[in-house]
Amino acid sequence: MNDIRIDKQRLWDSLMEMGEIGGTEKGGCCRLALTDLDKQGRDLFVKWCEEAGCSITVDKMGNIFARRPGQDDSLPPVAVGSHLDTQPTGGKFDGVFGVLAGLEIFRTLNERGIETRTPLETVMWTNEEGSRFPPAMVSSGVFAGAFDLDYGLSRADLDGKTMGEELERIGYAGSAEVGGRPFKAFFEAHIEQGPILEDEGKQIGVVTDAQGQRWYEITLTGQESHAGPTPMPSRRDALLGAARIVDMVNRIGMDNQPNACATVGLMQVFPNSRNVIPGQVFFTVDFRHPDAEVLEAMDAALREGAVRIAEDIGLEMDFEQIWYSPPVPFDEDCVASVRKAAEALGLSHREMVSGAGHDACYIARVAPTSMIFVPCEKGISHNELERADADDLAAGCNVLLQAVLERAQA
């Protein structure tokens, strides 16, 4: 079946139509998890899958499973998938490509009249981004047993709305249990979200591992006071403490090169008035590294330094690590299937480690798993300027198709 190819234009058109839901003026997409726009995207995905002859199952975390029957429907399916939710200023390809690539595979097999030995499934995982409901990948985490169901449903946004409440509101609080659903294999196709493939002129990333991640939430409390009469030496400025920790976070990342990443991406300053010394600051820290020991050393440096900074200024500190995802080695046989497919299709490729977290990282705990990367322009992602080439997306989808067929027919 090496001569089978997906329909490049149909895949592109599907991505563009989905991108209109939550589309932004700069050409990106804002479709936050469990909003009305997310519901519209889910509805469109379900409609397309049903038109392709799939049955639909929704579990209690709102994960959607679109199933194409096989010759022996009692066998575990070969599954593919990713997510439809985006960042507030996200693009049209992050996550969405992996979901619609699965749909395009189904459409292609239908046109060819091909029946696979095992069933196939395309999965849409809820709230992968973690932008509205931290932590990231929480629903695939519940599926894989990293979190319990109550924890997942109780995750709240900044307005106090929980995932459970919002799933009910948009009509995607399914009845199926979360997890206990075997996969013969799972593949996730994704844009790289970095510049390596483009810089090296490679079409396919054969993903062997994923970085570990630690997420923190820190609240510093000092005392708000008038910006004029309050002498500098007597101030307990919470924003000053936060600024020093932000600088330290960056230094920790630089000290652990070449693979470390360290980011402060969210900050809330109270009372946020121009002539009031900030009395409280809430902010987040994101650490990443493919080596668990290095990541642990970064954690220790952050904890020690944050305590010292808070004490020097006289601040109270609430410090919590809210999420830890260890480094993930992907299944050697699934990685080999991706590599073999790229070679059979004559596509340039390289092995690489994922710098970002993906639902595949949790699914790897319960099923043989790997990922396929395609280039994105200048490595830009989580940004409205995110771009991917239609030829590269088609190449990645064709690799996905061949890897799926190999595992589904075995």
- Which of left, alpha, beta for 401 (phi over 0: left; psi -120 to 50: alpha)? alpha
Residue among 148, 150, 108, 154 at smallest CA distance from 133? 154
Per-residue pLDDT of the chain (410 residues; tens, 9 = 90+): 678 999 999 999 999 999 999 999 999 999 999 999 999 999 999 999 999 999 999 999 999 999 999 999 999 999 999 999 999 999 999 999 999 999 999 999 999 999 999 999 999 999 999 999 999 999 999 999 999 999 999 999 999 999 999 999 999 999 999 999 999 999 999 999 999 999 999 999 999 999 999 999 999 999 999 999 999 999 999 999 999 999 999 999 999 998 899 999 999 999 999 999 999 999 999 999 989 999 999 999 999 999 999 999 999 999 999 989 889 999 999 999 999 999 999 999 999 989 888 999 999 999 999 999 999 999 999 999 999 999 999 999 999 999 999 999 97
Query: Cβ distance 353 to 206 under 8 Å?
Result: no
Report pLDDT for 356. Answer: 84
Q: In this predicted structure, what is the pLDDT of residue 1?
A: 67
> Would you state the pLDDT for residue 399?
98
Q: How many whole angstroms separate alpha carbon 253 and alpha carbon 25?
A: 34
Is 129 labelled as part of a ligand binding site?
yes
190 is in an annotated binding site: yes
Task: Specify the pLDDT at position 325.
Answer: 86
226 labeled binding residue: no
Is 83 annotated to bind a ligand? Reply is: yes
User: Cis link prior to 182 (omega < 30° from 0)?
Assistant: no
φ, ψ (nearest 5 deg) of residue 138: -65, -35
Q: Is 382 annotated as a binding residue?
A: yes
Say what the pLDDT of residue 2 is.
Answer: 74
Cα separation of 194 and 63, whole Å?
27
pLDDT at 386: 97
Name 65's bridge partners: 57, 123
Joined together, the tokens standing for residue 175 give 């009845």
Neighbours of 387 (CB within 10 A): 17
Binning the chain into helix, strand and coil, the percentages to the nearest 5 are 35, 25, 40
What is the chain's alpha carbon radius of gyration, rounded to the nearest angstrom?
22
SS3 per residue for 237-278? CHHHHHHHHHHHHHHHHHHCCCCCEEECCCEEEECCCCCEEC
- The predicted model scores a pTM of 0.84
Domains recognised in the chain with CATH numbers: 8-211+327-409 (3.40.630.10), 212-325 (3.30.70.360)
The one-letter amino acid code at 17 reads E
